[in-house]
Amino acid sequence: MKEVGKNLKRIRLLKNLSLKEAGLLLNMSAPAVSKYEKGEINLDSQKIIEFANAYNVKVLDLLKSYNVLEMKFSAFRKKQRLKGENLELLKEIIQNKVSDYLEVVELNQIKTTNGKIKKYTCNNEIDAELAAEEFRKNYKLSINQPISDLINILENIGILIIEIDNTNGKFSDFDGLSEIVKDVPLIVLLNDIDGERQRFTIAHELGHLVLNIKDNNLNEEKMCNKFASNLLMPKEAVINEFGMSRNNLSFYELRAFKNEYKVSMAAIIYRLKELNIISEYLYKKINISFSSKGYKKHEPYPIEPEKSYQFKRLVHKLEVDNIISLNKACELLGMTINEYNDEDNNYRY
């Protein structure tokens, strides 16, 4: 019943309920709810049904058992505001998602990278930029063109992309995570962010996976930002688009480059400044203009986020090949049987 208690707490937090609010729904005290969550009071079948009804979930949601892998969370990026129960909940959700994904990969007998993705020595900012160029060359990506589908490229080289639902905005202060679990490299991010932020987050987390930083005095986050910037906006491509030196820029140039390379205008002007294409003065002038127009919070012409279809496709494959049951497939995807069948158009070939 200890597992059920953990599920009770996880669902309560996802429902954005305090112990007191949950107690009011269940006609019991907050301490009693806490004791049920900790497994200090035994749960009978009737009490489980009461919790399920109060939280508006299925009884099965409370009875699920997770084979959760232990993770290090060493490259876990978040803002200071994300802490306490929300942080605890997020880490639990991530571990459950990672465990499910690795189970699906194993059942599909997919050959993994065994954690041996190519590493690039990084002793300074120049090395971080060079690493991005080498990454492109190693995977036959032109340094003169944008990367159109970053998720697809990384999945094809064995890196798992895992997206987390930002329930009730609880996890908005989570930036990203990269880790190698059971010899499988993975990147975790939220699924409700705009496309330009999503792609930069993925590129940044890729930096954590591929940069070999031995100098503890180096700021790893800064090195990963350098890597991400040059990966998404290669120096040669930026110079080809904007020229070696500019005293003025048109808004349309920034808009066009944003749409082509799928990066934010804020990231573009920063890249232009660090390549000395524009001056510090012009960079500040543009930033002031962006602030006055509200672009710092919401840039115009948003980019559609990229989508990963791999996990769902692999689950469907396992189910149609009778390796897992329909119920198991629905559990992995968090769907009802009707929703699952609708995705298959109620037809099998």
Using CA atoms, how far residue 141 sits from 146, 152, 234, in Å, is 9, 13, 11
104, 69, 76: which is closest to 90 by C-alpha?
A: 76
Residues 187 and 314 in one domain: no
DSSP 119: P
**Most confidently predicted of 42-51, 193-202, 213-222:** 193-202
332 domain-assigned: yes
Residues 18 and 122 in one domain: no
- Give yes or no for a contact between 182 and 86, defined as CB atoms under 8 angstroms apart: no
* 174-189 per-position pLDDT tens digit: 999 999 998 899 999 9
Residues 213 and 336 in one domain: no
DSSP 148: S
Q: How many CB atoms lie within 10 A of CB 129?
A: 21
State the average pLDDT over residues 235-243: 96
Classify the phi-psi angles of 264: left when phi > 0, otherwise alpha if psi is within -120 to 50, otherwise beta: beta
Predicted confidence band at 4 (pLDDT cuts at 50, 70, 90)?
A: confident
182 domain-assigned: yes
Q: What is the number of domains present in the chain?
A: 3
Contact partners, residue 214, CB within 8 Å, separation at least 6: 121, 123
DSSP 132: H
**Most confidently predicted of 11-15, 29-33, 285-289:** 285-289
Query: Tell me, what's the pLDDT at 113?
Result: 67
Residues 42 and 129 in one domain: no
Q: What share of the chain is helix, strand, coil (3-state, %, to 5)?
A: 55, 10, 35
Residues 235 and 319 in one domain: no
Residues 31 and 80 in one domain: no
Reduce the DSSP state of residue 128 to 3 states and report it.
Answer: helix
Q: Are strands 174-181 and 184-190 parallel, antiparallel or unpaired?
A: antiparallel
Residues 93 and 236 in one domain: yes
Query: Cα-Cα-Cα-Cα dihedral of 112, 220, 137, 153, to 10°?
Result: 40
- Domain-ending residue, one of 191, 218, 242: 242
For residue 102, give both structure tokens: 């690795």
Predicted confidence band at 216 (pLDDT cuts at 50, 70, 90)?
A: confident
DSSP 182: T
Looking up residue 34, the CATH number of its domain turns out to be: 1.10.260.40
Only one residue has tokens 């059971």, namely 182
Query: Tell me, what's the pLDDT at 281?
Result: 97
Q: Residue 263: pLDDT above 90?
A: yes
Residues 236 and 127 in one domain: yes
**Most confidently predicted of 36-50, 240-254, 317-331:** 240-254
Cα(112)–Cα(184) distance, integer angstroms = 6
260, 265, 262: which is closest to 297 by C-alpha?
A: 265
Residues 191 and 324 in one domain: no
Ranges 256-260, 273-277, 345-349: which has the least confidence: 345-349
* 106-163 per-position pLDDT tens digit: 999 887 766 578 999 999 999 999 999 999 999 999 989 999 999 999 999 999 999 9
Residues 19 and 157 in one domain: no
Cα(198)–Cα(229) distance, integer angstroms = 13
The domain of 155 spans: 76-242
Q: Residue 1: pLDDT above 70?
A: no
Predicted confidence band at 277 (pLDDT cuts at 50, 70, 90)?
A: very high
305 domain-assigned: no
Query: Tell me, what's the pLDDT at 139?
Result: 92
- Domain-ending residue, one of 195, 210, 242: 242
Query: Tell me, what's the pLDDT at 15?
Result: 83
* 26-84 per-position pLDDT tens digit: 999 999 999 998 888 888 889 999 999 999 988 888 887 766 678 999 889 999 899 88
229 domain-assigned: yes
* 82-110 per-position pLDDT tens digit: 988 889 889 988 998 999 999 999 999 88
State the average pLDDT over residues 261-266: 97
Reduce the DSSP state of residue 32 to 3 states and report it.
Answer: helix
Query: Tell me, what's the pLDDT at 344?
Result: 83
Cα(36)–Cα(19) distance, integer angstroms = 11
Average model confidence (pLDDT) across the chain: 92
Percent with pLDDT over 90 in the chain: 70
Residues 19 and 151 in one domain: no
Reduce the DSSP state of residue 77 to 3 states and report it.
Answer: strand
Query: Tell me, what's the pLDDT at 114?
Result: 62
285 domain-assigned: no
- Domain-ending residue, one of 242, 269, 298: 242
206 domain-assigned: yes
Query: Tell me, what's the pLDDT at 11?
Result: 87
DSSP 301: S
301 domain-assigned: no
Cα(77)–Cα(75) distance, integer angstroms = 6
Helix axes 19-26, 45-55, angle to 10 degrees: 110
Residues 37 and 104 in one domain: no
25 domain-assigned: yes
Cα(294)–Cα(280) distance, integer angstroms = 21
User: Could you tell me how many residues make up the chain?
Assistant: 349
For residue 335, give both structure tokens: 């769907």
State the average pLDDT over residues 322-341: 90
Query: Tell me, what's the pLDDT at 168?
Result: 80
